[in-house]
Structure 1
Amino acid sequence: MGSDAERVRRLDREYRELAMSTFVFETRLAHRLSYFRTFASPRIAGLLKHTGQMQAEPRRRAYDTGLMMYALIDAGLESPTGRHAVSRLHQMHRRWRITNDDYIWVLGTFAVMSVRMIERAGWRAITEAEKQTVIDWHVELGSRMGITDVPLDPQSFDAWFSAYEARMLRRTDAGQELLRLAMDVVGSQIPKRLRRPVLSLAPVLIDEPARSALGFGTPNWLARTTVAVLLQVRAWRRRRSGPPEKPFFEMGGVNSEYPDGWTLDDLGPRRSSELEQPKQ
């Protein structure tokens, strides 16, 4: 038991360094896009719409997803905070009938898409060992959540993820409704005069088949070129400046949604009744 705990603590340290320092921009971008990507799955979008939480509080739902994930990364899975965060995730999901494949896919929107984003937009190439660290950490998270049969290496997980998406993703009314709400949240954080051009670039960063399943068209050459140039400039600046000196995440820190700070117990549905709905 002791050796396994030490293995996870070492994995926590390695992944924390990748996600919150070495490839912090790339990982955060992947996580934000993964939030949109879940609306491309009819079963996931249908469940999210059924719970009603996003329609009631779209901004809070978006914040909670990010805060929970970075609480896990920052504290580590083997920490008391990490174990409590996993317990909260169990509490929020256990009442719903979610297939194991859907759980693996949602896990992959963080794991697989982080690797893909770093490969596409990274300020340097990601090593094979670093790819494996990303996968290993998410496999460990999945194991603690009771998810089984998660692919164990980057190539296998990427292939599984692509096969699931080809089989399962398609455009739905529920997905479109949730996407509009999420885009409104993102748009509210962008200066009004830049809102439309910035949001128009999002489809460039979303690959197929998710892009079509989310209702986006094929980006034109100007959008593709603009994104490519912006990513190249950012990578150049990162190589010159080094990693950010100030951490972007603070456990329990004040933000616009939680002006007095937050705890893990604040994240998720506000009313206990929302956790007691029957399985769908």
Structure 2
Amino acid sequence: MKRFEWRDRIHTLDAEADCEEIARILAAHEFPWDIEQALGLALYRTYAVPSVGQLLADTREFTERTQHRYDDTALILNDIMEHGFGPGRGRDALRRMNQMHRSYDISNDDYLYVLSTFVVMPVRWINDHGYGWRCLSDHETAAHTNYYRKLGRHMGIKEIPETYEEFRHLMDSYEAEHFAYTDGGRAVSDATLELMAGFYPAWQRPLVRPFTKALLDDRLVKAFGYPEPSKTWRALASGALRLRAKVVRRMRPRKEPRWARQSPNVRSYPEGYDPARIGTFPQGCPVPHGMATVEVPATGALVPAPGQAVAPTTED
């Protein structure tokens, strides 16, 4: 394969109708490591929103079982991306995610914000910061945006922005209004940084923490109450990632896909996993016994059959 063969293939596809295929090529062939890092930082940012960070801390799952929650998040998003929204593992993962979310009182505004981080952060990592081996084109950015718009619709999120620029504006304005320090958000942040450091050999861990914090923008550092990273660490971190990008640019294209489930950092299920059975079950079985339900064809969500009362743990 030629170095830009995947890029050229993407530009033969439609940014809306083929957004799932384009998203898979970007995530599993062109930028697997970059998108994995960017999505990790996207989720990390959400801890600085008090309603999100404190909720995650109150469950204690993200502070006491951090590895499991990291793995569950990576695997569920992986299966939706890898297998799509149709029947099978992708729909099972989508249903499992929706079941977990519906167990908590999460506002549509918070859903929109989290979705916006998934749209914006990979583009910022690859294009704006220059950490990708090449830039995403407008066509690829549109397809990436459309994929997450589709995911948002399957999650039942309302008033989803239509363009990347609208998502970018939503994310920046939401953070400017809502980012604030909470003990819960700081606790989840500390646990996450500790987990990330544990992915590296012991002798590297004292370097991983300041390196990672140097990648955080000032608004995020302030929201978590961390000391401001030094200019030296910021320069070293960004310089190392840009150097890596130059090296990757000279490598051969990836023929076989590299999925997040293949990451050595995912450690909780060495014997394999069923996407319908991972994650948390804070309110027991998501479908109450004795309640008749029907499946929504477009999303795979289970909803009460006509005439049934809505149960708080049932998917919308």
TM normalised by structure 2 equals 0.79
Q: Which residue of 1 aligns with 2:151?
A: 141
| Equivalent of 2:29 in 18, 21, 43 | 21
Q: CA deviation at 1:28?
A: 0.8
Q: Which residue of 2 aligns with 1:174?
A: 184
Query: Are the aligned partners of 1:253 and 1:262 in contact in 2 as well (CA < 8 Å)?
Result: no
- Rounded Cα–Cα distance in structure 1 between residues aligned with 2:62 and 2:159: 30
Report SS of the residue matched to 1:185.
Answer: helix
Match status 1:42 vs 2:50: yes
Query: Are the aligned partners of 2:19 and 2:144 in contact in 1 as well (CA < 8 Å)?
Result: no
Match status 1:261 vs 2:272: yes
Q: CA deviation at 1:203?
A: 2.2
Report SS of the residue matched to 1:217.
Answer: coil
- Rounded Cα–Cα distance in structure 1 between residues aligned with 2:138 and 2:26: 13
Identical counterparts, % of pairs:
29
Can you give the 5+ residue segments of structure 1 that lack an aligned partner in the other structure? 1-5
Query: Are the aligned partners of 1:204 and 1:223 in contact in 2 as well (CA < 8 Å)?
Result: yes
- Rounded Cα–Cα distance in structure 1 between residues aligned with 2:50 and 2:90: 30
Map 1:109-258; keep pairs closer than 5 Å.
109-119=117-127, 120=129, 121-249=131-259, 256-258=267-269
Q: Which residue of 1 aligns with 2:67?
A: 59
Q: Which residue of 1 aligns with 2:89?
A: 81
CA distance 1:81–1:252, change in 2 (3 Å): farther
Report SS of the residue matched to 2:180.
Answer: coil
Q: CA deviation at 1:7?
A: 8.9
- Rounded Cα–Cα distance in structure 2 between residues aligned with 1:163 and 1:97: 22
- Rounded Cα–Cα distance in structure 2 between residues aligned with 1:180 and 1:144: 32
Letter of the structure 1 residue corresponding to residue 279 of structure 2? G
CA distance 1:135–1:187, change in 2 (3 Å): same
- Rounded Cα–Cα distance in structure 1 between residues aligned with 2:101 and 2:236: 39
Letter of the structure 1 residue corresponding to residue 97 of structure 2? L
Query: Are the aligned partners of 2:15 and 2:146 in contact in 1 as well (CA < 8 Å)?
Result: no
CA distance 1:250–1:263, change in 2 (3 Å): farther
CA distance 1:272–1:243, change in 2 (3 Å): farther
- Rounded Cα–Cα distance in structure 1 between residues aligned with 2:89 and 2:285: 23
- Rounded Cα–Cα distance in structure 2 between residues aligned with 1:26 and 1:252: 15
Letter of the structure 2 residue corresponding to residue 267 of structure 1? I
Report SS of the residue matched to 2:109.
Answer: helix
Query: Are the aligned partners of 2:15 and 2:139 in contact in 1 as well (CA < 8 Å)?
Result: no
Larger radius of gyration between Structure 1 and Structure 2: 2
Can you give the 5+ residue segments of structure 2 that lack an aligned partner in the other structure? 1-13, 289-311
Query: Are the aligned partners of 1:111 and 1:138 in contact in 2 as well (CA < 8 Å)?
Result: yes
- Rounded Cα–Cα distance in structure 1 between residues aligned with 2:279 and 2:34: 25
Deviations 1:87-135 (A, max 9, x none): 1111111121111110011112211111111112111121111111111
Letter of the structure 1 residue corresponding to residue 33 of structure 2? F
Q: Which residue of 2 aligns with 1:3?
A: none
Structure with the larger helix share: 1
Query: Are the aligned partners of 2:149 and 2:162 in contact in 1 as well (CA < 8 Å)?
Result: yes
Q: CA deviation at 1:272?
A: 5.2
Query: Are the aligned partners of 1:8 and 1:77 in contact in 2 as well (CA < 8 Å)?
Result: no
CA distance 1:262–1:183, change in 2 (3 Å): same
Letter of the structure 1 residue corresponding to residue 106 of structure 2? I
Letter of the structure 2 residue corresponding to residue 260 of structure 1? E
- Rounded Cα–Cα distance in structure 2 between residues aligned with 1:137 and 1:67: 17
- Rounded Cα–Cα distance in structure 2 between residues aligned with 1:246 and 1:229: 29
CA distance 1:8–1:126, change in 2 (3 Å): closer
Letter of the structure 1 residue corresponding to residue 136 of structure 2? I
Report SS of the residue matched to 1:218.
Answer: coil
Query: Are the aligned partners of 1:252 and 1:263 in contact in 2 as well (CA < 8 Å)?
Result: no
TM normalised by structure 1 equals 0.89
- Rounded Cα–Cα distance in structure 2 between residues aligned with 1:130 and 1:64: 27
Report SS of the residue matched to 2:250.
Answer: helix
Q: CA deviation at 1:271?
A: 6.2
Aligned residues: 274
CA RMSD of superposed structures (Å)? 2.6
